[in-house]
């Protein structure tokens, strides 16, 4: 009985995907649940697994093609009893012949003569299972020319993550996975690593160009950024925050905080808490526009922008007002790791009522962030820099940060936006007030 491999329904907001890479070939024998193909969507990357055991008899759509949810990618047929798998390489045909029942006259062949043929037949019929790895790990392995089978995975159930590949490429992790042997199958001899070919360098003055197709996520980001600029009345207001109190508090408590909670105390949690306090005072900044109506949201799902190799993503802190500092820092750290490894789920990214983005981690001193629709405001944080400021008539040097609030002027008035930012500033400059807010 044949079974179709189809593009799964990931979420109501995802209707299409792009085939990143087939992990198996036509004729390969697969077990139920084996990963077959990697798909890219505008939000997450995912693997499609075999719905049943059998033979991958047909691949209908190729790498790089765009497909819709429910569309057939290929077909798996049940393997007939006694049906041999697709030959895996040279010598497989002879192995298959040797594995077939021999005539009575040839049954006196010694066991030592039969063993090599039986091993070849077993290797030919065994499915070629590669190590479990995330899509970003496979891409990193191709970039660094690293053999995934030699990389020890640190993810769930030994899954190879991007960081594992990068460690292997730098030679900082030389641990090899334990060899798994079977009485009927002898592991093949290790092949020497192929020589690494140096990429040709462009000659001085050589006007070269390279055409690279956008990933599904990057193309969606580009489209949505253009859409929001043409549909929202965006305006940005600025202020600056004296980070002295936060920096002093972190310095006094960072070790005790880490010992107790197992995570470092960053500045993000202070701004998440301060933003929630300001959103309570100015609820229209925690809203969205639907037609002629404003939807005021009385819960606080705060999106935290995270930069990843495939583009910016905004995972969401659900009910952030119910999280303490340790909970906020722990979730942000988890999101950053998932973003780099390509393991963020749709649930991590869905929704959000307000977004915080921090360009300061890349050295940005000042910027005008773009709205994350359908939200109507986004807070931009920037680099902390020692600057001379006037305090009580005296010029002193303080760690200062410029902050920016971009908002949709259709429902947020300028006075609201300015007062919101002043409220954030006052709460961050007096962290004790966060406990009373």
The residues annotated with a catalytic role in the active site are 409, 413
Token pair for 371 = 């709205």
Token pair for 68 = 């819709």
Unique residue bearing structure tokens 């006694």: 82
Count other C-beta atoms under 10 Å from residue 40's C-beta.
23
Largest alpha-carbon pair distance within the chain?
109
Q: How many CA atoms lie within 13 A of 204 on its CB side?
A: 0
Distance CA 309, CA 246 (A): 30
Unique residue bearing structure tokens 């190729």: 62
Q: Parallel, antiparallel, or unpaired: how do β-strands 234-242 and 302-304 relate?
A: unpaired
Q: CA nearest 135: which of 248, 17, 55?
A: 17
Token pair for 60 = 């209908």
Distance CA 141, CA 297 (A): 44
321 phi and psi, to 5 degrees?
Answer: -70, -15
Distance CA 64, CA 20 (A): 6
Do 306 and 339 contact (CB within 8 A), yes or no?
yes
290 backbone φψ class: left, alpha, beta (φ>0; ψ -120 to 50): beta
């Amino acid at each position: 009985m044949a079974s179709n491999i189809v593009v799964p329904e990931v979420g109501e907001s995802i209707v299409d995907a792009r085939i990143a890479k087939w992990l198996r070939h036509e004729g390969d024998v697969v077990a139920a649940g084996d990963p077959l193909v990697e798909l890219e969507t505008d939000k997450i990357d995912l693997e499609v697994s075999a719905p049943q055991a059998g033979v991958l008899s047909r691949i209908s759509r190729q790498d790089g093609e765009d497909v819709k949810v429910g569309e057939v990618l290929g077909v798996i047929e049940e393997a007939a009893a006694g049906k041999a798998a697709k030959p895996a390489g040279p010598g497989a045909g002879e192995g298959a012949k040797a594995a077939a029942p021999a005539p009575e006259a040839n049954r006196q062949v010694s066991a030592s003569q039969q063993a090599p043929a039986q091993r070849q037949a077993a290797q030919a019929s065994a499915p070629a299972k590669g190590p479990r790895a995330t899509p970003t790990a496979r891409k990193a392995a191709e970039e660094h020319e690293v053999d995934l089978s030699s990389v020890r995975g640190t993810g769930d159930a030994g899954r190879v993550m991007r960081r594992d590949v990068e460690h292997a490429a730098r030679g900082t992790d030389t641990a090899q996975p334990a060899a798994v042997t079977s009485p009927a199958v002898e592991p093949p001899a290790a092949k020497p690593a192929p020589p690494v070919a140096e990429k040709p360098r462009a000659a001085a003055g050589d006007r070269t160009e390279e055409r690279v197709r956008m990933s599904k996520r990057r193309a969606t980001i580009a489209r949505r950024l253009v859409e929001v600029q043409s549909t929202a009345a965006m305006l940005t207001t600025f202020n600056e925050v004296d980070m002295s109190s936060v920096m002093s508090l972190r310095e006094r408590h960072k070790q005790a905080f880490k010992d107790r909670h197992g995570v470092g105390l960053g500045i993000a949690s202070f701004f998440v808490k301060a933003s929630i306090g300001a959103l309570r005072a100015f609820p229209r900044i925690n809203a969205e526009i639907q037609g002629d109506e404003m939807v005021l949201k009385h819960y606080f799902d705060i999106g935290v922008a995270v930069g990843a190799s495939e583009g910016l993503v905004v995972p969401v802190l659900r009910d952030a007002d119910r999280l303490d500092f340790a909970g906020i820092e722990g979730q942000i750290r988890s999101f950053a790791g998932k973003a780099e490894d390509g393991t963020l789920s749709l649930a991590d990214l869905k929704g959000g009522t307000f977004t915080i983005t921090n360009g300061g981690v890349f050295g940005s001193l000042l910027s005008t962030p773009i709205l994350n629709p359908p939200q109507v405001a986004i807070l931009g944080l920037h680099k902390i820099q020692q600057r001379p400021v006037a305090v009580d008539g005296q010029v002193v040097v303080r760690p200062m940060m410029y902050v920016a609030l971009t908002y949709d002027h259709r429902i947020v008035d300028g006075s609201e936006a300015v007062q919101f930012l002043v409220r954030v500033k006052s709460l961050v400059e007096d962290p004790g007030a966060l406990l009373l807010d």
